[in-house]
């Protein structure tokens, strides 16, 4: 089991990211009172970007969940950057250009830009949830949608990361996303992709989990999503002339096996709650209380059945 915890870790983002006396500069900005790319549904804030299938919220509650997901992932994998990338690229001495696609609240970027002050880090996301007031001097953010093309010239970056985007793109959008990453990656550069196969695995059958699985698969089919796109990277790279040079795999326990399993189930439950406006229909309900009851029952079934998901990390070189 890859989820064995090796040290204490914090799920509180404010406590987990330390500046360690490294230079940071305040970046002041005034947030607009009106948010034209946002909408409020059932008390949660979501994006309102046309033609995007991404359905998770963009509010403070979701930002906290994404912070937690980062630290859980780092704990279970044991790294932020895969070891083969550290062999190929000298993050310590070279002024590398690093891009994090769909960066969310930039937890990974904040850690790595402080760890490697000589490198230039950039985060890109269609939703602006990155730090606005204070951030490391070598870190920038751009609000843009990859599906409209990445706003960079060819061969701009030495290292590119993308992770937890299994519900961000439709099946027919993936090839364009990969081709854009290849386009802006320098020859010899590395692309790191970390994602979860969202199919739930159990050792013993359970009718509650079966009902959940059928409902989630129905939801994904309705919106043309592939919840297991993570392990299919080799297929997506078939025509892109890039090769996988390192692969890591871990099992993510859902609510059992120690602190990591308990923490991961909480973040997964948070995702299901965030998807509620669309996912409820697949469970044949429009009632919020009934949906919460279903999710809580499913959560207990995950624990009792020792359910888990598979986490994949790939390093690709151009």
Q: Reduce the DSSP state of residue 168 to 3 states and report it.
A: coil
pLDDT digits (tens, 9 = 90+) for 229-284: 988 887 888 777 799 999 999 999 999 999 999 999 999 999 999 999 999 999 99
Q: What is the pLDDT of residue 232?
A: 86
Domain definitions of the chain by residue range:
40-317
Token duo for residue 75: 């704990």
pLDDT digits (tens, 9 = 90+) for 48-107: 998 999 999 999 999 999 999 999 999 999 999 999 999 999 999 999 999 999 999 999
76 burial level (CB within 10 Å; 0-12, 13-18, 19+): buried
pTM of the model as a whole: 0.87
Q: Reduce the DSSP state of residue 42 to 3 states and report it.
A: coil
Q: What is the pLDDT of residue 35?
A: 62
Is 14's pLDDT higher than 70?
no
CA 59 to chain centre: 15
Strand partners, 312: 195, 249
Range 32-44 average pLDDT: 76
CATH 3.40.50.150 is held by the domain 40-317: yes
Range 203-208 average pLDDT: 83
Cα–Cα distance measured from residue 52 to residue 201, given in angstroms and rounded to the nearest whole number: 29
Q: Reduce the DSSP state of residue 251 to 3 states and report it.
A: strand
Is 205's pLDDT higher than 80?
no
H-assigned helices in 116-246: 174-184, 207-222, 233-236
């Amino acid at each position: 089991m890859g989820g064995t915890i090796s040290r204490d870790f914090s799920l509180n983002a404010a406590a987990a990211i330390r500046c360690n006396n490294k230079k940071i500069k305040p970046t002041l900005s005034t947030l607009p009172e009106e948010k034209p790319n946002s909408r409020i549904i059932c008390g949660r804030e979501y994006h309102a970007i046309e033609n995007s299938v991404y359905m998770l919220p963009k509010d403070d509650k979701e930002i906290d969940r994404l912070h937690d997901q980062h630290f859980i992932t780092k704990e279970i994998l044991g790294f932020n950057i895969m070891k083969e990338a550290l062999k190929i690229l000298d993050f310590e001495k070279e002024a590398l250009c690093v891009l994090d696609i769909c960066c969310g609240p930039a937890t990974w970027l904040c850690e790595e830009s402080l760890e490697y002050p000589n490198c230039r880090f950039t985060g890109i996301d269609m939703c602006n949830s990155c730090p606005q007031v204070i951030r490391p001097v070598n870190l920038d953010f751009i609000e843009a949608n990859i599906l409209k093309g990445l706003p960079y010239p060819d061969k701009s970056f030495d290292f590119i990361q993308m992770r937890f985007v299994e519900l961000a793109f439709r099946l027919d959008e993936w090839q364009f996303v990969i081709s854009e990453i290849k386009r802006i990656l320098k020859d010899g550069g590395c692309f790191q992709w970390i994602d979860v196969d969202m199919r739930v695995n159990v050792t013993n059958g359970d009718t509650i989990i079966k009902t959940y699985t059928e409902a989630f698969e129905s939801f994904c089919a309705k919106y043309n999503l592939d919840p297991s796109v993570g392990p299919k990277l080799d297929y997506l790279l078939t025509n892109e002339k890039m090769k996988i040079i390192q692969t890591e795999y871990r099992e993510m326990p859902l609510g059992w096996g120690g602190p990591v399993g308990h923490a991961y189930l909480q973040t997964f439950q948070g995702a299901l709650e965030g998807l509620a406006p669309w996912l409820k229909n697949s469970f044949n309900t429009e009632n919020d209380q009934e949906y919460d009851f279903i999710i809580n029952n499913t959560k207990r079934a995950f624990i009792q059945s020792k359910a888990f998901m598979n986490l994949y990390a790939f390093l690709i070189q151009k």
